Amino acid sequence: MNITDTGPVVDRVAFLTEQAATVLSRRIPARFADAVCDHPQVAAWADRFAADPTRVPSLVLAGPTGTGKTRQCWGLLRKVVMAHATTGRRVRWEFTTHPELNDQLRPKPDGSHAWALEPYLHAELLILDDLGAGKQSEWTGDSLHRLVDHRWAHQLPSVYSTNLTPAQLADAVGDRIVSRLADSHRVALKGSDRRREAAA
């Protein structure tokens, strides 16, 4: 009699859901541990991405400092990652800020800057927070253009947040980059600075 032991049956959805929750808990900063995307347009974009990432434009969240853009970004990421996990899928994502990206791209003795851009170029979802806040050098400016252009040309959805108006953003990062954001879905977040209100 031949008995084949196939081992325990793994529930793929349960495994991916637990894995996704663990990764998010490690990577989401403590300040945003409970972040949710509760802005209707942001939540709707997350739902569209979860349904079909190939048919959703990039997203630009714009508004004054302290209006909750970063919180919406982390909440959106959680919503998308968990939605994929509950249908048995993974999503390759990266989250960084413009100043952090610049720091990774600046030439370093160990040469790590040479491949620092690669994960951001090819992620299924990129969230680039505080676009325009990073101080540009010729090298970081060219790298930012390469990143935005690559993702635009290959129709890879990205989420950008910025405190700047389109004109101010063009001054900060250049017209070529702003032009490639023109077909993104733009959401304006309004209100006063929540951080200052909380500290008052």
Domain boundaries along the sequence of the chain: 35-191
For the whole model, what pTM was predicted?
0.89
Q: Indicate the average pLDDT of the chain.
A: 91
CATH class of 35-191: alpha beta
User: What is residue 135's DSSP assignment?
Assistant: P
Cβ atoms within 10 Å, residue 187: 20
pLDDT-derived band at 7, boundaries 50, 70, 90 = low
- Nearest in space to 69 (alpha carbons), one of 61, 78, 57: 61
Predicted local distance difference test score (pLDDT) of residue 196: 59
pLDDT-derived band at 195, boundaries 50, 70, 90 = low
